[in-house]
Structure 1
Amino acid sequence: MNSIWIIFISIAGLYLFLILSYLAGWFRLPEFRPGKDWSKIPVTLIIPVRNEEKNIWPLLAGIADQDYPSDQISVIFIDDHSEDKTLQEILSGKGGQDVRIIELPGSDQGKKSAIRKGLVECETDIVLLLDADSVLYDKWITDMTDQLIHSSSRLVFGPVRYLAQNPWERIQQLELFSLVGTGAAACGLNNPILCNGTNMICFRKDYLDFFNAEKQKAVSGDDIFFLLWIKKHYPGQITFLKSPDSIIETAPSPGLGSFIRQRLRWTSKSRFYKDPHIIFSAVAVFLVNFLLLFLLCGIIFMEQLWKPFIILYSIKMVIDFIFLFFITGYYRARSILIYFIPLQLVYFIYVNFIAIAGNLLPVHWKGRMKKI
């Protein structure tokens, strides 16, 4: 029993150190302040699409409503063999915008191939990357471009949240805020480990250099690998756009199955990570959740394990709640914390399943199955 307490104290201490470090990183992160007018700089939006006919119109409307000069905005949609009316919807909804559609050849497929094709065809130095189901605020291009140039960064990423209308979608939003907060906080510690390719701006040359240098086999997108590549080659030149209004909204998963498949796809990348900071964070999170599951199952055979289980569970709940309290509050979404306890009841089981299955099971995306 003494050895269990030693393991318990070590893992609990490791997790406490990690989350408290993230809290410090969040508060160290400077808030975005608009700077000079960079609106004479041309930019290109690179948007991979596959079967997005239901989402294209809000995106096109959001692009049209940008306060950035329309003659400085180019849009490239790269179609990944859509089987619906995505292309027709783009053509009918683009209006007078500078929109190009590029179709991937039959031999190429997937988001990585689409982004690579868009970068090759792009004619501007600065590119913004987003998903086809994104809902934009009107200053998105202006703020992202300002942050990239004013901060002398090579990569800027921003927050994402779901368009949540019901309890299931709000639970997803709360879980996503934990990832957004972690990515932002790690950036505040000058050790970025997470970003979301749905809200990103960078230099075209850097992304092409990354593609030429790195040959990743991961099924999911390259956003985190690109971030880690920039971190390695341009230390200190990655920033997070911290502003309560700088958030992009996107569609949540409609059901549990699609949500699990998405998280499995994200997790499938983890075996290729080499950065010590992302490995440390992933191991710390997995260990505390694995220990919780181990203790819960062990109570069946050793009744005295209930005490370390309750203590560890309480420690984790308190520190997680404090972290999410500040993150959701900053983005005016604190009301979703009412789902915190229901989420915590199953979260440690969910983490164990995703961590293991994500490295073993085939990955599904947009009607495709790929083996890892």
Structure 2
Amino acid sequence: MSVVAVMYVIMISYILLIGALSYGARKVSSFTPSVQVPKQGFSVIIPFRNEANHLPGLLESIADLDYPTSLFEILLVNDDSNDASVACIASFIKAHPKINIKILESIRVSDSPKKDAIQTAIETSLFSWIVTTDADCIVPPLWLKTLNAFIQENDCKLVAGPVTLPYRSASFLQVFERMDTLSLAGATMGGFGIRHPFLCNGAHLAYEKEAFVAVGGFHGNDHIASGDDHFMLEKFSITYPKQVHYLKSQQAIITTPFQENWTSFIWQRKRWAAKSIGYTSLFTKSVGLLILLANLVFVVGVVFAFAKADTAAFPFYTLLLLKIITDAFLLYPVAQFFKTRKVFLWYPLCALWYPFISSYIALISLKGGFMWKDRYFKR
């Protein structure tokens, strides 16, 4: 089989995969709550390390939550901060005595600071449902009310929710990061839609505490620094395959900030990619491998297309167009959901750049560690 034929086989397989995920993303229905009575109690766990610049925004959004304060607690877990984070939280607690907020000190027992922080909080939590988000996020006012209704109206053990970026993009990096985030959101929705969930985001994840204990918590993957979200999804999908759901609701979209520069963007994505060594799902591994191969085919196709000035370049141009068009089918409806359709003005440029940066991150993640919260972690 010729090289071109192999490239076409990979690309056709990729098209079928993205087609399935596109179908799945559309299959996930938007949720409009019919239950209005607050009933479910939530323990919201937020690990933090040196987040003094972000915490005020998060805390103010928590103060705006439209949910009875008797039905939720905020457990902020300090992961060895050395800035003004604790003082910032303490000041907020003093100004908002009616909100049940606690500062906990993380008990380190593994190679994963975030998992240790979450475990520390779960052991002291009051309510039957655990909700996690990040210290640099902004939560919407109807977040817990929508989650409450979803849990009451569906048979749930784990619920993954939508995460987006601020609505204004000031640079190409931010536009590109938005497009990359949309692709991850689309793949996440698509996986849930075809009943093979393989992605979720710890910035918006909820699960039943009793079920967390039943699946063994973080045992078995606490040697991997990241992945508090993915590995939990894997365990729940095996034990409770029909009780993991995606909350597709405009009222429940959590906002996370842009990365400051290309270096921090690459480090973040490398950290995400590094947890792939712990994947147990054959489907997840296959999806990751196929996406990497398709991106590499695109890169090779660009090189060959520019190297050949005659009609011999036609097969390579075809490969490039196939991938660009296929990805658009997944991304556009997701952009509609997040109300960021204007970003598609940049889509052609992002589509050309994405396979290069994605392939680079995937390849460098195979070797070496990564920086996270001013600390270096081995792969």
Say yes or no: TM over 0.5.
yes
Question: How far did 1:5 drift?
Answer: 3.1
> How many positions carry a matched residue from both structures?
371
Q: Which residue of 2 aligns with 1:173?
A: 178
Q: What fraction of aligned residue pairs are identical, expressed as a percent? A: 25
Kindly report which structure 2 residues correspond to 1:199-348, keeping only aligned pairs within 5 A, or say none. 199-212=204-217, 214-216=219-221, 217-298=223-304, 306-348=313-355
Question: How far did 1:295 drift?
Answer: 3.4
Of 98-107 and 241-250, deviating more is 98-107
Question: How far did 1:308 drift?
Answer: 2.5
Contact 1:46 1:77 in 2 (8 A): yes
Q: Which residue of 2 aligns with 1:99?
A: 101
3-state SS of paired residue (2:43)? strand
Whole-Å separation in 2 of the counterparts to 1:119 and 1:305? 61
Q: Which amino acid aligns with 1:362?
A: G
The TM-score, its normalising length taken from structure 2, stands at 0.93
Q: Which amino acid aligns with 2:100?
A: D
Contact 1:162 1:250 in 2 (8 A): yes
Question: How far did 1:205 drift?
Answer: 2.2
Q: Which residue of 2 aligns with 1:126?
A: 129
3-state SS of paired residue (1:32)? coil
Of 177-186 and 158-167, deviating more is 158-167
Q: Which residue of 1 aligns with 2:188?
A: 183
Question: How far did 1:51 drift?
Answer: 0.5
Computed over aligned residues only, the root mean square deviation of the Cα atoms, in angstroms, reads 1.9
Q: Which amino acid aligns with 2:47?
A: P
Whole-Å separation in 1 of the counterparts to 2:316 and 2:154? 45
Question: How far did 1:107 drift?
Answer: 6.1
Indicate which of 124, 138, 143 corresponds to 2:141.
138
Question: How far did 1:212 drift?
Answer: 4.6
Whole-Å separation in 1 of the counterparts to 2:326 and 2:57? 37
Whole-Å separation in 1 of the counterparts to 2:359 and 2:15? 19
Q: Which amino acid aligns with 2:292?
A: F
Q: Which amino acid aligns with 1:103?
A: E
Whole-Å separation in 2 of the counterparts to 1:212 and 1:143? 25
Whole-Å separation in 2 of the counterparts to 1:62 and 1:300? 50
Q: Which amino acid aligns with 1:360?
A: K
The TM-score, its normalising length taken from structure 1, stands at 0.94
- Determine if the alignment matches structure 1 residue 60 to structure 2 residue 59: yes
Q: 1:365 to 1:175 in 2, by over 3 A?
A: same
Q: 1:171 to 1:296 in 2, by over 3 A?
A: closer
1:190-221 deviations in Å (ceiling 9; x for gaps): 11010001011111122234445732132213
* Structure 1 unaligned blocks of 5 or more: none
Q: 1:288 to 1:101 in 2, by over 3 A?
A: same
Of 107-116 and 146-155, deviating more is 107-116
Q: Which amino acid aligns with 2:122?
A: L
Of 170-179 and 301-310, deviating more is 301-310
* Structure 2 unaligned blocks of 5 or more: none
Q: 1:213 to 1:178 in 2, by over 3 A?
A: closer
